[in-house]
Structure 1
């Protein structure tokens, strides 16, 4: 059991660090905590309200009358505190704030650990201690392997609409653990990425407009229930990534907005503060107390909930000042993000810090000591937009868009990239991935299989939004569950079988992930065949034995005896073909071994001839001779023995 000790009274240095912007465990000071003071078990309330004239706590324990529960101002810069000599765990509460102009506001606690189920908005006094974690094996495993050289294929999930009960109610965290974890394991995903689960008032914001940054949403259960969900993910070998929004927040009246009647968490200047399109307010990232609040929040989810990573939303909206036609850099945001990344990596070097950044800002994933922003991954939005533009085009017109496929390899190693097919691409009239594909019913499925194959073989880690794994035909309907009835249809079953086979194959092939971030891991064979819209390339691992030849055909033409240059004079075996009949394809596969010929082609010393399927991806693996295979196996045995000897 993890035990978090809260001192009865805050130390002066904690208050100083908070106002300095460097108190990164501010959640142990602020909020409502059960503590012992002078031998008495009680509840301590602490809140930052720098412009308030008076602060009272009201709740179910005092009939919502704060006359006898006034907080004392213990800091000239607006920290207020009250100790109530009662254990108030489970009670509802809010802060009653009297502004400088005499207005009375009722505000939820910014540091509340638990909140009422919407539409109610009160905070709930909750003790986070006491959960028994059982994920030591997972934590140990994370420290032993570098994520950069491991497979990473993320399943992006919105918990409220992945699956619902017959009466429309949400599944609980416990029920989701029972259903979602086996499903993710069966498909072979390595991580789950959760759309924001901080408390938020409006279902259709999907959590991106939060009010309770320290509250796991009560829609699905208690904070301990959410801990148990993550714990069970870890026990199953699945990492959990938290979609996190440190740039802007919800403007509902009970939340952070104008917390004490004046700009507190947000910028003072209206042009910098407001996001008219989203209806949110931007955090003032230059304000020290806001930095303490946000960086503490990241550490909070890591420490209390064992989160494995953060996908940081709307980074572009932070790096550049909003509401400006010109791209003016925001120095406060830059330094905030750098300090955030430095702090979380100091706390846990294995953490995933993923920037959702749509700009070409340099060195987003470079260390801060090299002048970078300090993330270790960035979504490759350019690749995603280019490849979807290419796929949505009529196949006969793709020859004029050839550069949309090749361009990504010019910058693929400028950052550590994740290739995302996320929720943003299958909502608001954009159509599902399947329905983006042109052509008839069969052609749509064939091209989606091809697209997924290209995703799996392109350098970079991977992300797929829920429903894509079985070919959801309609775009994401955020108020309904996924269209699970599609599993009654043969082509959707076969699409799902293909995704499972593809992920299984991906995780077994070191050449598809070991050198994702190195030019040594990729080599074009034929990059210039725009006329036929066929691309071929080699993916490589750290050793010469880890090598794959990949051929993608983005038209419906079938080719027999098609020549492709190869790097090795050996026999090749077809390891995966998206046109296999078991996946819903037409069966244009290469069943027999394919022998390389000692004749140059495509700039390679040898070549092979094979069948190229329509709208298909073909992946070939060189076959080792028996002696070479034994030598390799012997080398692996020696390597593992040496590793055991070092322990």
Structure 2
């Protein structure tokens, strides 16, 4: 039976007992705090350790003692830690810390280091032991090679509660999702899954971005072991798993981190530093080493205990800038008078250094939306130390461009071409994420102009451009088959649309793009190197709605050419400059009838002659279908 903890803030001292047991050692300044902090089984009992430096008294109350608090002892070394052992507290028991705050009031707090939480709307912590017989040895041994910067990386972003559900609307267990998700990703050719935050969160509508249980996977989908099975299953099917991680802010829910010991402990006291007006949440105090240790330990925890292959760090821009989402007078400049959060910068550098030191074969990916220099450059070179960064500039420019009526696109060529200017300044991921299909933005398909056929053709063209553009790829669930409705967390995707030919054609196109991206080195080896990209000329007089570029891999790899027609007017007898003469295979054509297109093309082959065009030594005359992407591969002579 699930116990119901007390939530009153003025608990009487009469509910306090005592705890006996050996003293817990004070943890040093390190990033494995989860080995000491929180609740740890100890024979027939459990050891508890919690950080509450300004508390007057700390007890632990739970289902093992009828929710009558038993006192913890303050460790007399200035660490602010309280500890003790409770005989009879066993795995599965619920508990909270009963804290008498600095001002004398009592409050019940969930354990910041709890490894499992009560199913929402319950807020108690749960004693849990993390054990699992992992079967992903082969994946882990090959991980460094399979997700190196020169390897293909095509990410499928998933919100677990709305990807699929039972017919009656009930949420699936992690294990059930794992089997279906592995099968889907293998069929579609994605190399990785990125899970939107799974750490416990009381408000389901936050999608996990308002985290309260930083070390506990949400109980909505099962136990910690169920999540381990999910990651294990995906690994055994050759699919990497990334976790969306929130270290930028936390909610003010009273049972969690806010005012944990009656004072601003994890957050700043001054709201100009500690309150986030855009999200109505609290900002971590990165100047406290205990807070840095908490967050860095948490990042390492998910990578170690759950075998995640990387972290996508949410809202990095909000961490870097003191004036983020603030008006004048609502923020405090740094010591040099600037708006940079120097403590957050140091924290991010420490985070990335710690992660890559322990797990050199994982990725830490920044969702950073500004032009901050060196986000994905090493710390010892003055960067923040991330492995990759979301290319929000490419996303915004591209989606703005594709929403324009076809006729007007000729005057906005800079929007679709500008990304090439900075494409190699960082190690970029091209994201078409959940943020682009919510809050009235509509679906990616719905943003396309024109009639139904043109909207589907335009979506296929967009994906063709994305998959051939330098950078790793990320697509939010539903995009792979042309979801019609805007995404909502309370309903599943419209899987029935797969029965409609145009939607099924989009899915086939994405699967074939993934296959080409994975099999052709030129499309992925130099995703982060300017040597791997170059614009190609087209006949003078053509409007700036035809994109032509070459992708190159290592020496000896066949070059790949991509051509995109961003209008509904077919280009017949279009002359294009090419890197070399000879036969070029028309590997992919988004206008093929199998994808829902009109069937225009070049019969699978384009022949280039030694006739130069601009600075290209060869050229070819070809047909470029309407709203289509062609992928040409040079054939060996």
Into which bin does the TM-score normalised by the smaller protein fall?
over 0.9
Q: How many residues are paired up?
A: 606
Aligned to 2:15: none
Give yes or no for contact 1:74–1:80 (8 Å, CA) kept in 2.
no
1:402 paired with 2:418, answer no
Secondary structure of residue in 1 paired with 2:155: strand
Aligned to 2:333: none
Distance 1:147 1:70 in 2: 47
Secondary structure of residue in 1 paired with 2:463: helix
Distance 1:448 1:287 in 2: 47
Aligned to 2:238: 237
Aligned to 2:403: 392
Deviations 1:344-375 (A, max 9, x none): 00001111110000010000011000000000
Shift of 1:10: 3.7
Shift of 1:206: 0.3
State TM-score, norm by structure 1: 0.92
Secondary structure of residue in 1 paired with 2:61: strand
Alignment of 1:296-445 (within 5 A): 296-321=297-322, 322=324, 324-325=326-327, 328-445=339-456
Shift of 1:71: 3.9
Distance 2:352 2:395 in 1: 25
Aligned to 2:11: none
Aligned to 1:599: 611
Distance 1:597 1:354 in 2: 43
Structure 2, unpaired ranges of 5+: 1-20, 329-337
1:462 paired with 2:473, answer yes
Distance 1:592 1:79 in 2: 70
Aligned to 2:78: 76
Aligned to 2:114: 112
Give yes or no for contact 1:564–1:602 (8 Å, CA) kept in 2.
no
Shift of 1:145: 4.9
1:582 paired with 2:598, answer no
Shift of 1:592: 4.9
Shift of 1:99: 1.0
Distance 1:10 1:331 in 2: 34
Alignment of 1:84-95 (within 5 A): 84-95=86-97
Shift of 1:388: 0.5
Which of 557, 561, 574 is residue 545 of structure 1 equivalent to? 557
Aligned to 2:39: 32
Aligned to 1:556: 568
Distance 2:460 2:73 in 1: 61
Residues 146, 304 of structure 1: alpha-carbon distance in 2 compared, 3 angstrom cutoff = closer
Give yes or no for contact 1:271–1:323 (8 Å, CA) kept in 2.
no
Aligned to 1:608: 620
Distance 1:143 1:157 in 2: 23
Shift of 1:146: 5.7
Give yes or no for contact 1:402–1:530 (8 Å, CA) kept in 2.
no
1:156 paired with 2:157, answer yes
Shift of 1:569: 1.5
Aligned to 1:55: 58
1:490 paired with 2:501, answer yes
Aligned to 2:584: 572
Give yes or no for contact 2:64–2:89 (8 Å, CA) kept in 1.
no
Secondary structure of residue in 2 paired with 1:478: coil
1:623 paired with 2:635, answer yes
Aligned to 2:213: 212
Structure 1, unpaired ranges of 5+: 1-6, 626-647
Distance 2:178 2:135 in 1: 15
1:531 paired with 2:538, answer no
Shift of 1:478: 1.3
Give yes or no for contact 1:165–1:171 (8 Å, CA) kept in 2.
yes
Shift of 1:546: 2.0
Shift of 1:323: 5.1
Shift of 1:526: 2.5
Give yes or no for contact 1:43–1:86 (8 Å, CA) kept in 2.
yes
Shift of 1:530: 6.6
Shift of 1:603: 2.2
Distance 1:108 1:529 in 2: 67
Aligned to 1:635: none
State TM-score, norm by structure 2: 0.93
Shift of 1:545: 3.5
Shift of 1:76: 2.5
